Each structure stands twice: as C-alpha cells, then as structure tokens.
Amino acid sequence: MNTGRPLIQARGLVKRFGDFTAVDGIDVEVSAGEAFGFLGPNGAGKSSTMRMVGCTSPPSGGKLRILGMDPVRDGPAIRARLGVCPQLDNLDPELTVRENLTTYARYFGIPRRVARARATELLDFVQLSDRADSKVEPLSGGMKRRLTIARALVNEPDIVLLDEPTTGLDPQARHLVWERLFRLKQQGVTLVLTTHYMDEAEQLCDRLVVMDGGRIVAEGSPRALIERHATREVVELRFAAESQEAFAGKLDALGERVEVLPDRILVYVPDGDATVAEVAALGLHPTNVLVRRSSLEDVFLHLTGRTLVD
Amino acid sequence: MVTLVLPRLVDVSAASRRSASVTERNVAALRSVYWLLLVSGFVEPLLYLLSIGVGVGALIGDLTLPSGAVVTYAAFVAPAMLASSAMTGALAETTFNFFGKMKYMKLYDGVIATPVQPFEIALGELAWAMLRGSAYSAAFLVVMVVMDLTTPVRALAAFPAAVLVGFAFGAVGMAISTFMRSWQDFDLMSSAQFVLFLFSGTFVPAEAYPAVLRWLVEVTPLYRAVHLIRALTVDTGGWSWTLDVLYLLAVLTAGLLIASRRMGRLLYK
Amino acid sequence: MTQLTRPALPRVPALRVLEYHLVGYRRTWRAGAFSSFLLPTLTVLGFGLGVGAYIDGGVGGVSYLQWIVGGLLASTALQVAIAESTWPVFGNLQWQKIYFGQRSSPLRVGDIVAGHLAFVLFRVLTAVIAFLLVTGVLGALRSPWAVLTVPVAALLALAVAAPTFAYAASVDSDSWLAMLFRFAVIPMTLFAGVFFPVESLPLGLRWLAYVTPLWHAVDLCRAAVLGVAPAWSVAGHLCYLAAWAAGGWLLARRVFARRLVV
C-alpha cells in the first residue's frame, strides 16, 4: 500500500442542502493504516462528510481526493476500493445472511466462487456463522450491525467507512463490535469512523477531528486533545439545590476552569482528591462527589460549551 | 442500446456486468411463494383470452379489421391480451417492486456504495422485468399457436415485438416510480392502467370510437403496442406497424433517460 | 363538581371498531372512490356499450348492456369486498399491528372481526349504490326491482369477505394474497357468468362456476335488474350465500382468536 500520499484529502470541503450548509469548509487528511475519527453531536456534519468520502454525495464546494482520484469523475473506481457501513443498516430483507454477503460481492464483480469463500470467512470473523442461513429480519441489532460490517469488508477495501458503528446498540453488543474493529485496525486496515461517543473515539481512533456546526473545532490524537483542552482530572459536584449556579462562584478559585451544567458542576483540576478536600474546607456540602480522568467529552464541552449527547 | 442512451459511458462491458449483478440479486431473492406467483403470472392473460375472447366471442362471431381481414373475436382479442400482459408484467416489476426496494427496503442505498451506478441499477432491474415478461409472452404465443389464432412463423416475429413492448413500459414504470411519493399514488397508476387496458383497441377496434376519442386512444402507448402485435400475429399486409416500433423505441429511450437521471438525483444526495 | 367516572363499556363494541375504520377512511377515501366507483363505470361503458355494439342479437332477448349490468354490479361488490379484506387485514396483523392494539382494550375478538367486516360492508354498499345511480342514469336498468341488488350485494360481500378474513389472517406472506386474486378472484370474475352466460361453459367448468358465491349473486342481481325471475330459486341462492358467510365468520373468528390471543 502507498503510505506516502494521504488516502483521503479534503480542502475547504463544503456540502449544502438548499440554504442549509451541513459541512462548512473542512480540511482533512487521512493516511494509510490510520484509524481516523469524526467526533461530534448529531447534526455536526459527520454523516454528510462520510457520504462525500463514500462518493455517493457530490461535494458542493472545495477539493476532495480519495485514493488520489476525483470522487465525481471516478466514483465507481473509488467505490470499488471502499467498504461502507452506513448509519442505518440497509441489509437486504429478502435474502439470507450469507446471500447478503455473496450478492453484495457480485456488485463488486467478485467471481461467485470467491464470493462464497469470502462470505464464509467474514461470517466467521463477525461471529455469525451459525446464522448464515437465517433471514435478516430476526437478527438482533448487534448482529445486523456486524453483518453490515462484514458486508463492508467483502471487497477487501483499502478504506473502511463506518458511520456511527455502535449507535443504538446495547453495551455488550457495542463491545463486540469494538473488538472486531480493533482487530481490523491491527490488520492495518484504514478505518474512518464517525461517532458521538467519546469512549468509542478514545478506544478506536489514532487521530480525530472534533466537529461542530459543520466545522472542525479541534484536531489531534485523543490524548493530545485532552492534554490541550482539559486538565488531568475532573471533579463532578452535585448540590441539592434548584440551581447549581449559586455554588459555582465559590468554586471558581479551586480549578483551572469550572463548567456549570443543569444538574452538576465540573471543576477541572490537576489533582481531584486535593480539590475535594478544599471543597469541604470551604464548608460546602455537595450531595454527590465524583473524581475522574478527563475525557473527550470534556474537550468537547470546553470547545463548544455543549455536551456531546443531548 | 446502452451506448446510445448514455454516450458518456466508456466501459460498456463493466457497466453491463454491474447491471447483471443487480439482476442476479433478484434471482437470489426468489423464494417459494414468490416463485409460484411468478411462474403462474402467465395464466392471467390466458384466462382473459378464454373468457372474453372465447366466451364473449361466441356472442360476437367474426370481426372485420380495418385492413379488410376477417378474424374470429378470439383472434382479435389475443394479441391485445399479449400486449397488455407485457405492459402489466413490466409495470408490476418496475413500479411496485422497484418503489418498495428504493423507498422502503433502502436497497439501493447499499448498492450505490459499490461501483454500481444508478443507471446500471435501472438497467439491471429492467432486464429482470424483461426476463420475467419475455417468458410470459413466449408461453402466451405458444398458446395462441396451439389455439390456431396465429401461425408459428408469425408468433416468432411477434416475440421480439412483445419484448419491446415490455421494455418500453418497464422504462416508463421506472421513470414514474421516481416521482411517486407513497403507495397511495400507485392507486392512481393502476386505475390509469386499467383504463388503458379497457380502451386501447383491446376489446373493440378503435375505429368504433367517436373521432376525438379515437385520436386520443391512438396516441397511447398501449394502443400502439396492441396495434403492433395484432399486425404481426393476425392482420394482413401493411407496414404501419414500423411506426409502432419507432414509437415504442422512443418511449423506451425517454423512460430510461428520465429514470436514470432522477435516480441519480434521489440516491446521490 | 362532577366525579370522574369509569366509562361504561360500549353497548355494541363492534361499532367502536367500525368507527375506528371510518375515521381512517376519511383520509383515504378519494383513492378508494376512484377505483371502486369510476372503474366499474368505465367497465360498463367499455363492455356494455363498446363490446355490446358488436353483439347484434343481444343476450336472451335484452341488449348486452342490460344483460351485463347486473353481473358487473355483483362483480364490483366482490372486488371491493375482497380487496378490503386481503391487504388491510394482513397489514393490520403483520405490519401496523392494529388488531393487537384493539385486543389490549376491552374489545373481544368477535368485536374486532365484526367491526372490520362492517367497514367492508360499508365500502361495498357505497360502491354498489354509486354504481346503481350511474347505470340508472345511463338507462341500463330495466326494472325498479334493481334496488334489491343492494341487499344481495351485501350478502355476497359477507359471503366472500368473511372467509377471506380467515385466509388473510392465516397466511405468512402477502404473496399468498396475490395468489388469491390470481387463482380465485380473477377466474371467478371472468367465468361466473358476468361477461357471458355460464351455459356456454363445458359441463365440468359450469359446475365449478356454480360453486362460486359470485355466480349466485350474479343470477340474483341480473334477474333484479331485468325484472325477471332468476334461473334458480331465490331462497336457494340466498341460503347458499348465507352458508358461505356463516362458515366464513366462524372460521375468521377462530383464526383471529388463534392469532390475537397468545
């Protein structure tokens, strides 16, 4: 694989729907072997970006090169080397689990014999071998998702695009998906994913951009982003009052930064336990105290003043 | 045909291979009951032929065509049943089923993420509808020969014509589907289809209608299709059917162009 | 001032079910009216007048238009009745799951079936009455006895809708509904004496036509429209149709109970 040139290169990329600008001039580069993430709340422009990268949505402006080619002119050639796992599963309800993979392989011009072998291999990889001849309908959400991921791998793609791969799954199903994706990453497959779960981004992404309102507000590795935009620890305080606001003023001096949410106050500090002691010394008695490490959630809160999942 | 409609397309073989993969999907999706439904599709025009052509025909006797040829009522009705079943079969596959796949199953959202392009989906679906329709047409033509309503040679000539009729209506159906908003819209379409079925020179010669109505009828695609197949299977002489062929080719081209352009717009959001 | 009281159970619960279907119909009646009224009218024109013009002697001493009108009326009732009891019933069970919602109210299974059947009856009656008005204006009805076609159509509707309810509630794929049309409804419409006399069918097929509920309604409706006595006994026809309705009702209630009471 060519490691010198970026696989995905976007400059000032724009997507408009009528008057609405979904993606407002973003610059992105993804190189081979990377796991790259778009983190942001619903409506940040992640899915629109993914569809443009997937060559199923023509850009409204800016420059976009995928695998060194032009997505509008060379759509089929690019898509031949992409694997796409869309936000909503669009599996074929009239086919069995296995047929979903073999027919999809045929869209890529993969010979029947190869398609069958590949399907068996992939069903094993996503742990669906025992459901191979079942219809899609009775599968659980997590199984459908894994099947969609297997389908995205049927053409041995250079880049796999995953749009919110675990949204709507229960915790157990999510971990199973993460584990499979992590395996892919280890095999050197280039992953591009969107998510509004910070834990997902932290687990899977080498590098990510934080998107808000169609723009990129920060970029870096999860660790670098946390170091740059948050402190090492966070103290979460909850007071038994109508409004947390009244207490915020008294806490200002304790941390580098204080964020007031409707139901709690976050104090950003290098050493959480020390701060808890200081709070008690001030004569304040929160009903609930939690000390934790800073996460991407805190980065996002700092950058946009809003929480990721609302 | 492909290069004619889409001059931009350079790699014809890759495109037809991709279209074929869409057709293949439909073969894979064939399941027990649907199979039965599919295979039994050819009985419908046959039932109409026996009921109206033979049953009502016994009350009517022979008919004189505009060309002067005298035929039995069954022989008059048979080509019309062939044409309208080609229409119905093609429309069923390209409207109802196509719309369901596009809007409800979101099938094509998955397909466009592969190298397959919208017009290739359109061609693939159309090819599937034609595979099905052609089999019905062939079976019906065999029945016509067996019932002595036409000769084997004429039946052979009428077969490609029936396929063309199916193609033209299939393309129109696909174009119509891209404008449909919900299932309710299909009620209107099937009503329109039934009106065409009743009045396209199917059961009585269009010459029997008042002048204005007659001209209206004669420009509808089903009338042209009936006229074409009747000319090939039972009528004598004349070349007026070549006009029908050109007309249907034009309908086919327009339908395909509109369908693939609209699909591109609907799918590549 | 007033105390909130628990609402009394409706006296005839099925009427509440009917009400539900009528409310839904208020939104979609236009499309339905088009296919259940305009299309039969066009068939009268296309066949009665169009094809009729080529039938010089008429049939049995009356013009083809007058002869065919009674049969088309019965076949309209059949078409509407079956269309309304196939996909809607299947959909209420499999897609929108309406029946299950009704089932979790105090309604009994019988109420649910009866209420929906009443709605089918409503659809058939409106279609048939509209058909009578139009054909009356066209002068195709020879006798005032024609009004008797309304109760006959109602009985036919029940005779075919009730067993169709049972059928639609027991199949697992809607392809089976299309099969019903292809192998029962269309052949019945084409060969049970609507377009040409059953007497011209070969003997075996003729008996097949006699078995269909449609033929009995056709004979009654045609006689009423022409103002003559039907070929077979009126009581016999009515009993035969009633037997279909009763059998269908029992079957439908059983199948519904099996599907809804789990």
Residues of B in contact with A15 (CB under 8 A): none
CB contacts < 8 A, B to C, total 87
SS3 A122: helix
Q: How far is B179 from chain A (nearest CA, A)?
A: 20
SS3 B116: coil
With CB atoms and an 8 Å threshold, state whether B33 touches C43: no
With CB atoms and an 8 Å threshold, state whether B59 touches C28: no
With CB atoms and an 8 Å threshold, state whether B110 touches A151: yes
Nearest residue of B to residue A53, measured between CA atoms: B113
Residues of B in contact with A79 (CB under 8 A): 113-115
pLDDT digits (tens, 9 = 90+) for C155-185: 999 999 999 999 999 998 888 998 999 999 9
Residue A293 dihedral angles phi and psi, to the nearest 5° = -75, 150
Who's near A252: CB < 8 A, 6+ residues apart?
A258
pLDDT of B7 reads: 43
pLDDT of A260 reads: 83
**Chain A residues 46-65 within an 8 A CB cutoff of chain B:** 51, 54, 56-58
A partners (3+ CB pairs within 8 A) are: B
Asked if B180 reaches chain C (Cβ–Cβ under 8 Å), the answer is no
pTM across the whole model: 0.81
pLDDT of C175 reads: 85
Q: How far is C108 from chain B (nearest CA, A)?
A: 31
For residues A69 and A78, the answer to whether their CB atoms sit within 8 Å is yes
pLDDT tens digits in sequence order for chain A, 310 residues long: 445 679 999 999 999 999 999 999 999 999 999 999 998 888 889 999 999 999 999 999 999 999 999 998 899 999 999 999 998 888 998 899 999 999 999 999 999 999 999 999 999 999 999 999 999 988 998 899 999 999 999 999 999 999 998 888 888 888 888 888 898 888 889 999 998 887 888 888 999 999 999 999 999 998 888 888 888 888 888 887 666 777 777 777 777 888 888 788 888 888 888 888 888 888 788 888 889 888 888 888 888 877 766 5
As a whole number of angstroms, the distance between CA C59 and CA C194 comes to 12
As a whole number of angstroms, the distance between CA C164 and CA C170 comes to 10
Which of B13, B18, B25 to substitute to test the interface with A, most A CBs within 10 Å?
B25
B partners (3+ CB pairs within 8 A) are: A, C
Nearest residue of B to residue C172, measured between CA atoms: B33
Residue with more model confidence, C129 or B41? C129
Q: Which of B18, B28, B268 lies closest to A107 in CB terms?
A: B18
Element (H, E) at A237: strand A233-238
DSSP H helical ranges for C39-96: 39-43, 64-85, 87-94
For residues A299 and A230, the answer to whether their CB atoms sit within 8 Å is yes
Looking up tokens 């490490």 gives A293
Looking at every residue in chain A, the average pLDDT score rounds to: 88
For residues A297 and A268, the answer to whether their CB atoms sit within 8 Å is no
Q: How far is B14 from chain A (nearest CA, A)?
A: 9
Element (H, E) at C113: helix C109-137
As a whole number of angstroms, the distance between CA B113 and CA A155 comes to 12
**Chain B residues 112-131 within an 8 A CB cutoff of chain A:** 112-117
Nearest residue of B to residue C39, measured between CA atoms: B191
**Chain C residues 26-65 within an 8 A CB cutoff of chain B:** 28, 31-32, 34-35, 38-39, 42-43, 46-47, 50-51, 53-55, 57, 59, 64
With CB atoms and an 8 Å threshold, state whether B51 touches C190: yes
Q: Which residue numbers in chain B have pLDDT < 50?
A: 1-9
CA distances from A303 to A65, A110, A227, B74 (A): 29, 46, 13, 80
Residue from A191, A192, A195 nearest A169 by CA = A195
For residues A9 and A166, the answer to whether their CB atoms sit within 8 Å is no
Vertex B199, ends B193 and B203: CA angle to 5°? 115
pLDDT digits (tens, 9 = 90+) for A5-38: 799 999 999 999 999 999 999 999 999 999 999 9
Helix, strand, coil shares, percent, chain C, to 5:
80, 0, 20
Q: How far is C175 from chain B (nearest CA, A)?
A: 6
Residue from B183, B105, B100, B173 nearest B133 by CA = B173
As a whole number of angstroms, the distance between CA B155 and CA B72 comes to 17
SS3 C211: helix
Which string of b and e fits A132-158 if b means at least 16 CB within 10 Å?
eeebbeebeebbbbbbbbbbbbbbebb
Q: Which two tokens stand for residue B95?
A: 């409207």
Query: How deeply is A260 buried, as exposed, middle or buried, from its count of CB atoms within 10 A (0-12, 13-18, 19+)?
Result: middle
For residues B135 and B27, the answer to whether their CB atoms sit within 8 Å is no
Physical contact, A and C (3 or more Cβ pairs within 8 A): no
Looking up tokens 């920060």 gives A218
Asked if B217 reaches chain C (Cβ–Cβ under 8 Å), the answer is no
Query: In sequence order, what are the beta bridge partners of A211?
Result: A216
Q: Which two tokens stand for residue B248?
A: 């249907």
Strands (E), A143-213: 159-163, 190-195, 207-212
Nearest residue of C to residue B60, measured between CA atoms: C55
Q: How far is B171 from chain A (nearest CA, A)?
A: 22
Vertex A187, ends A185 and A192: CA angle to 5°? 30
As a whole number of angstroms, the distance between CA B20 and CA A109 comes to 10
pLDDT of B93 reads: 84
For residues B67 and B235, the answer to whether their CB atoms sit within 8 Å is yes
With CB atoms and an 8 Å threshold, state whether C195 touches B55: yes
With CB atoms and an 8 Å threshold, state whether B29 touches A77: no
C partners (3+ CB pairs within 8 A) are: B
Q: Which band of pLDDT confidence, cut at 50, 70 and 90, is reported for residue C8?
A: low
Looking at every residue in chain C, the average pLDDT score rounds to: 90
pLDDT of A242 reads: 65
As a whole number of angstroms, the distance between CA B182 and CA C46 comes to 30
Vertex A74, ends A212 and A57: CA angle to 5°? 35
Which of A92, A100, A110, A112 to substitute to test the interface with B, most B CBs within 10 Å?
A92
Q: Is A29 left (phi over 0), alpha (psi -120 to 50) or beta?
A: beta
Element (H, E) at B193: helix B184-199
As a whole number of angstroms, the distance between CA B149 and CA C199 comes to 24
Residue from C95, C79, C238 nearest C164 by CA = C79
pLDDT digits (tens, 9 = 90+) for C76-122: 999 999 999 999 999 888 887 888 888 888 788 899 999 999 999 99
Asked if A88 reaches chain B (Cβ–Cβ under 8 Å), the answer is yes
Q: Which two tokens stand for residue A143?
A: 């199984």
Tell me the DSSP string of A75-112. Answer: HHHHHTTEEEE-SS----TTSBHHHHHHHHHHHTT--H
SS3 A290: strand
Residue type, A59: P
SS3 B82: helix
